[in-house]
């Protein structure tokens, strides 16, 4: 295993374990064992568990935005609907047990660290993304529309844990169409 391969393995294992058991429910020893690496290998790549959590969140955010960008044509007639559909597919494929960023905000709130900042930054970026879509489509109420679509996606994510990604996405697409119709 090369050095970057070991780092990637550690990140993949850590993300899976954090997602399945929560940030507080997983120790470095478990990650080291499941990644099949030496303790020093982890510390050569990450200065602490918090640093590992930060890198996991950054990597997950990068994957989320790449996924969304690959499924949403910004110049299409309905980029809002495409974004909701893409988010729903992401939930089904990658985030069927809830939102890792929201968990990070909950677990690290008020601890004055980079983890909470990364997680909150992800939520802010989602809001800005919808504001940009609204601007590109010439919507007058871009801030309201951005808030509404961000709330819609956040609600879809929350409902996924209760009714599943497919049903939550189906309902959110219907709501998105209503929002788009009322802002035309």
Domain boundaries, the chain: 1-46, 50-182
CA angle 107, 125, 23 (to 5 degrees): 20
Predicted confidence band of residue 184 (pLDDT cuts 50, 70, 90) = low
CATH superfamily assigned to domain 1-46 = Homeodomain-like (1.10.10.60)
CA 151 to chain centroid, in Å, comes to: 14
Give the Cα separation of 167 and 162 in Å (integer).
10
What pTM does this model have?
A: 0.90
Percent of the chain with pLDDT over 90: 82
SS3 179: helix
61-96 pLDDT, tens digit each: 999 999 999 999 877 888 999 999 999 999 999 887
Distances (CA, A) of 90 to 15, 107, 121, 145: 16, 23, 19, 22
CATH classification for the domain delimited by 50-182, as one of 1.10.357.10, 3.40.50.300, 1.10.3720.10, 3.40.50.720 = 1.10.357.10
CA 167 to chain centroid, in Å, comes to: 19
């Amino acid at each position: 295993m090369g050095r970057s391969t070991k780092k990637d393995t550690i990140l993949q294992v850590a993300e899976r374990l954090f997602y399945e058991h929560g940030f507080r429910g997983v120790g470095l020893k478990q990650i080291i064992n499941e990644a099949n690496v030496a303790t020093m290998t982890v510390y050569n790549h990450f200065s602490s568990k918090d640093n590992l959590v930060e890198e996991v969140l950054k990597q997950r955010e990068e994957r989320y935005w790449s996924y969304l960008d690959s499924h949403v044509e910004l110049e299409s007639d309905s980029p809002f609907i495409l974004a909701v559909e893409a988010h729903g597919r992401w939930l089904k494929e990658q985030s069927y047990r809830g939102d890792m960023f929201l968990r990070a905000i909950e677990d690290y709130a008020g601890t004055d660290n980079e983890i909470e900042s990364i997680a909150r930054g992800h939520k802010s970026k989602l809001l800005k993304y919808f504001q940009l879509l609204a601007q590109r489509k010439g919507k007058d109420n871009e801030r309201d529309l951005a808030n509404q679509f961000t709330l819609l996606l956040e609600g879809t994510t929350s409902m996924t844990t209760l009714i599943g990604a497919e049903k939550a996405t189906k309902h959110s697409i219907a709501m998105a169409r209503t929002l788009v119709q009322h802002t035309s």
